Chain A
């Protein structure tokens, strides 16, 4: 549908964990668009939907906020959009405020603030099923009377009440109720005066402006207004909400008695993480076999259909070997994202952040840094974006600087290729993968400890976190997240990696040598020459020229290391053996095996520490506003990776390992 058919713009607002994103997905379905706010890296998610009355509305998903006094860059966007101060974004025609029915009293504060702004508002009472399950009795009619806006009970996860909500979003919208509370005479006089001043100054929303200007006059006035609002909510809730007896120990409390226990909590956390890594190795094998089989079949079919020559080599050794070599890891990436989404959706992640706060505090960070660091295991870019929820700027910078050391999924193809060269058996391999992740994390924390005091004096980080109740995972949301990440990975394989595979194939094939010997051809090629030039640099790490070339190529994207080796070794491929078998079989000039466990370890250590991802550097530049931090991080991490790999290989050799 065209932009012009949109009849109104609705802003979707709510506290974090109120179920805003699920409601956004239920209302808009596939009609979504993701962009950026002008001058900010906060993404702008919008979508369209049709009401039963045939009106088409645009829905804008604003970042979650507890109030309109922003404590983080994300919350500032929400406030600025609602008060009409966000560049390039007109104020919304209506605000759809999502309230978690289980925590209604606390969430009504944001609703009251939005009503004060003078917008037409519809309140969606989300998670009604859970509230009823907890024995809460909510009277939407009484609440509607008290707040002057429609309250629609819904459950966005199951779709209950969505049609009624669409009915409530009737066009033309109801008149805004205006400010509901009254303060003492002095305050009212000050608000009146300020409103008149705003009117004279030609403000679009003089009433809202007047109130905000009064609140800004001093912390005592702000405190008084906050207190009056909470007193209003307190009175309203007496009629609109009945609580159950608290005698029954809720399921969440029972689980938390173990999950947050100083010892048992850690045992549960470590077991969960270990189970995730073991499952990645154990369960991904089968679908990986399918993908491998499909690419082998494709390779065979294409070889048969196209006559021997450069074109066949480009398609089979370049495109299919390069793209297939990376796509084979799709099942593992899907599994990792599935587990991360599952833990997030069930409410466990906040518990992990609570447990980790003790450790984070020892290195000068807080539990708030844990969630961005954890997102970094999936991909550094969303992790760096997620640091926006950290209120303290120094803590935020320190988290951004250490974040690429939490191993992202792009490294997974390299780890999975190399680990079996060192360890046998799914359990040992899973343990090794767990160790890799632990080593990256530990180094990141030590780096934070060293970095943080050097970033300048700052107040100690404060920890304040909501622990949402445990709930059944919202499968729709989980699968949507997994699909989005899987699609992004497939897209990357089909664009960046495809392009780089073709370039790598070209560099590996030309210039042609007179000799028919593939080894001579490899040495003659551009790649061979780059590798020979790189050899003195990588030889102290125990690597050969092909690994050097692959490492250079992987600075564009880590997965290309796998593709580059696949393309390099395709030249001496005899009967379609898997790449790993070829690596095991490859030897040095003196006949000694090349890929020994020590060399494998040196490669892994290099990949744990090297920042080989240009998009990450660009995002760090955007978030920190300076090339100094971005390039400093890139250089520092690359040097550290080289030195660490050097130490492992040379140290290992001194200890008698080969």
Chain B
């Protein structure tokens, strides 16, 4: 991918807490202190995630599993529209 296109894609990525409810996203990057724990439970690059609710603890589905995660953790996941 050309550098500009890659940069544009990275810049258009949102954190999971910023993402809209009811939409499906693809995980672009998982970065932060809890990234290993997040990847272990299924939040890994390329995976599809659907956000279900907002709030201090938000709900989403990854690979068909419903998960609840705090805003701090959701901020460590960057997603792009699927």
CB within 8 Å of B: which residues of A? 66-67, 69, 71, 102-106, 109, 134, 136, 219, 222-223, 226-227, 230-231, 234, 243, 252, 256, 260, 354, 357-358, 361, 366-367, 391, 459-460, 462-469
Contacts and interface: CB of A to CB of B under 8 A. Distances in A.
B40 A67 contact: yes
A464 B36 CA distance: 13
A99 to B, nearest CB: 12
B63 interface: yes
A357 B63 contact: no
Interface residues of B, number: 29
B70 A462 contact: yes
Interface string B39-51: 1111011110000
Given A260-B59, A354-B57, 17 more contacts: A67-B40, A227-B46, A230-B47, A234-B47, A361-B56, A366-B70, A367-B68, A460-B72, A462-B34, A462-B70, A463-B69, A463-B70, A463-B73, A464-B34, A464-B68, A464-B70, A469-B66
Nearest to A461: B70
| Interface pairs A-B: 9 shortest CB-CB | A105-B63, A106-B42, A67-B40, A463-B70, A230-B44, A467-B66, A66-B40, A106-B63, A103-B65
B64 interface: yes
24 contacts: A67-B40, A71-B40, A106-B41, A222-B36, A223-B35, A230-B39, A234-B47, A354-B57, A357-B68, A358-B56, A358-B57, A361-B56, A367-B57, A367-B68, A462-B70, A463-B70, A464-B37, A464-B38, A464-B68, A464-B69, A465-B67, A466-B41, A467-B67, A468-B66
Contacts of B47: 105, 230, 234
A75 B47 CA distance: 24
Nearest to A71: B37
A637 B27 CA distance: 48
Nearest to A357: B57
Interface string B61-82: 0111111111011000000000
A231 to B, nearest CB: 6
Contacts of A391: 37
A71 B63 CA distance: 21
B67 A466 contact: yes
B contact patch SS: mixed
Contacts of A106: 41-42, 62-65
A550 B45 CA distance: 62
Nearest to A69: B36
Contacts of A469: 66
A419 to B, nearest CB: 36
Contacts of A223: 35, 39
Contacts of B36: 69, 219, 222, 226
A222 B46 CA distance: 17
A230 B45 contact: yes
B64 A464 contact: no
Contacts of B38: 464
Given A462-B70, A462-B72, A467-B67, A231 B46 contact: yes
B16 to A, nearest CB: 12
Contacts of A354: 57, 68
Contacts of A462: 34, 37, 70, 72-73
Nearest to A465: B68
A5 to B, nearest CB: 38
Q: Which of B36, B39, B66 has the most CB of A within 10 A?
A: B66
Contacts of B53: 260
Nearest to B69: A464
B64 A230 contact: no
A464 B73 contact: yes
A459 B39 CA distance: 20
A103 B46 contact: no
Contacts of A69: 36, 40
Given A226-B39, A463-B70, A464-B73, A103 B45 contact: no
A469 to B, nearest CB: 7
A466 B53 CA distance: 15
B63 A103 contact: yes
B58 to A, nearest CB: 10
A105 B64 contact: yes
B46 A234 contact: yes
Nearest to B38: A464
B66 A466 contact: yes
Q: Which of B34, B42, B56, B67 has the most CB of A within 10 A?
A: B42
Nearest to B65: A103
